[in-house]
Structure 1
């Protein structure tokens, strides 16, 4: 049986043979075992614990070393107190704090949150696009301002953008920016990283209540800067 690297915290079951719909992963944060197809012998043994957010640990022989090429070398150096989320099906990866737990965030593909402070969380979503690169959106300053003002901010919120950065990794361009959304009753600050690849427009947002931001900023910046697209 193949041994999987310890940094892999989640793999979507669609990556594997369609006749075996259980997830292969060496740790506990995993997706569900589908009930749409007959369970194999390994799944039958553990079928009583298979549910929407609980999955089965099964043989990893279908997973070969070719999956873990140089594109994922960064994940072998996960910072202390972080874990790596890797989605080979939807083509992206990122780090998240090791004590955070996965949860369902409506309209998003993956999300993790602080178990004691739900507003401290990271979430990733993507939509189809015909654009090939984030620069196709236009000048960075204009595109980010329009995004925060018209998409992220509610009508009763005042947006403020503090910082914008572009970085290029393995020929892929990413924009990361820090912003605040404030209303009369509430304020939240966050980092967002956006990128375009695989025919998808990806968005990662990681943030916290404004009162906690100064204490958490550096920790959450690691999450924002870790986002990578994986060719699919």
Structure 2
């Protein structure tokens, strides 16, 4: 016997926040397909222009599901968040999309013309379609610490990372800026730096945080020759990184 057809999708106006929440419930109830295909994306247009939201599901090899939304951020389909979750009300800047990994507990923005790719040793990564060295990637490792302040002051942590972790013996590290921020009770260190060698120089922002028993690192950077041109664009990515409770 053939299985019954799926329920019809209700079209909603994207203008009001209440209708946006209704939209999220409908998508949550319908569910989206999950497969183990590596780095593929399914896109569904849910509204007619000009008021539409594009929803893409990234299928990862670890059989996990992460959500990208243009115009509105929904943290997960696997465990729908409470209505007062601040992520639901977060607007995505123009020309950016958002990547959310609810299972591993983080989210960040990335330029909308970038593409996801596999970066060895990292949980997620996106790059410029033409300039591969212009990219963002995120990794995490287990830790017994509960807050980034447990690692030390921002000056101590950044200097240690650039001298002993990020730079090779042939590279000279330079720190341009360091900033601390607190969002929803979570603390973050963000710093701007460059690694210079005889043949190549790269500049980047890094944002680090601790949550869920994990030490998260997001790095977004580019060739230093393009840094002045792309710096402000990449700073949005670095400042958008958030850890989520899991």
Match of 1:175 in 2: 189
1:30 matched to 2:88? The reply is: no
CA displacement at 1:66 relative to structure 2? 3.2
User: What stretches of structure 1 of length at least 5 have no aligned partner?
Assistant: 9-15, 36-61
- Measure, in 1, the Cα distance between the counterparts of 2:62 and 2:137: 23
1:223 alignment partner, SS class: helix
The structure with the greater share of residues assigned to strand is 2
Specify the alignment match of 1:150 in structure 2: 164
Higher relative contact order (CA 8 A, sep 6+): 1
Q: CA deviation at 1:73?
A: 3.2
Q: CA deviation at 1:72?
A: 1.3
Counterpart of 1:105 in structure 2 is 119
Give the conservation status (yes or no) of the 8 Å contact 2:191–2:206. yes
TM-score, with structure 1 as normaliser: 0.76
Q: CA deviation at 1:112?
A: 0.1
Count of equivalent residues: 194
Contact 2:207 2:238 (8 Å CA) reproduced: yes
Deviation digits for residues 74-100 of structure 1, max 9, x if unmatched?
Answer: 5x4000000000000000000000000
Q: Provide the TM-score with structure 2 as the length reference.
A: 0.71
Instruction: Report the counterpart of residue 72 of structure 1 in structure 2.
Output: 87
Q: C-alpha displacement at 1:30, in angstroms?
A: 1.1
4+ residue stretches of structure 1 with deviation over 6 A? Answer: 2-5
Task: Give the 5 Å matches for 1:1-232.
Answer: 21-22=34-35, 26=44, 27-28=55-56, 30-32=58-60, 65-66=80-81, 69-73=84-88, 76-232=90-246
